[in-house]
Amino acid sequence: MSNDILLTFNAGSSTLKLGVFSISDNVARRIGKGLIDFRRTPPMLQFIEDPSAEDIMLDAPISDDLHEILDQTINRLASRFEVDRIIAVGHRVVHGGERFEGPVLIDDATLDEIGILELCVPKIRFCNIGDEGHRELAVT
């Protein structure tokens, strides 16, 4: 039986970092990591799955809406991991204000509160997790 999978994201102003973790007995073990540099055109996922590394070309446009890039990234990961085993997706919020000091469940209320933080830090990409595309990603 395959282990469950946890995906983590850290979207900054110029990069998107991701981690893929295998969950077994409530312990997470990293089995892959990646980086997308938004300054590069066309975008490319640099993915490391120890001991190998690969550059995976993406043809999604780079924009403030990360839905297409995330969609392609998940599809590319599906050739390596059983994406139907994904049980949770995490995202690092750097400027979480007083409200977000630790892990929280991402639901509509949380997304609304994160959207308010956009007024404080408009150039950080975490604000984009509140769009409908990412809500779909969290559901599917």
pLDDT, one tens digit per residue, over 3-29 is 899 998 888 778 889 999 999 988 999
Identify the pLDDT of residue 47.
Answer: 92
Domain ranges of the chain: 4-139
- Does position 71 have pLDDT exceeding 80, yes or no? yes
What is the architecture of the domain spanning 4-139? 2-Layer Sandwich (3.30)
Nearest to 94 by CA among 17, 36, 11: 11
Q: Is the pTM of this model over 0.75?
A: no
| 140 pLDDT more than 70 | no
Nearest-CA neighbor of 46 among 57, 35, 62, 58? 35
- DSSP letter at 13? S
> 15 and 36 in contact (C-beta within 8 Å)?
yes
Q: Is 12 exposed, middle or buried (0-12, 13-18, 19+ CB in 10 A)?
A: middle
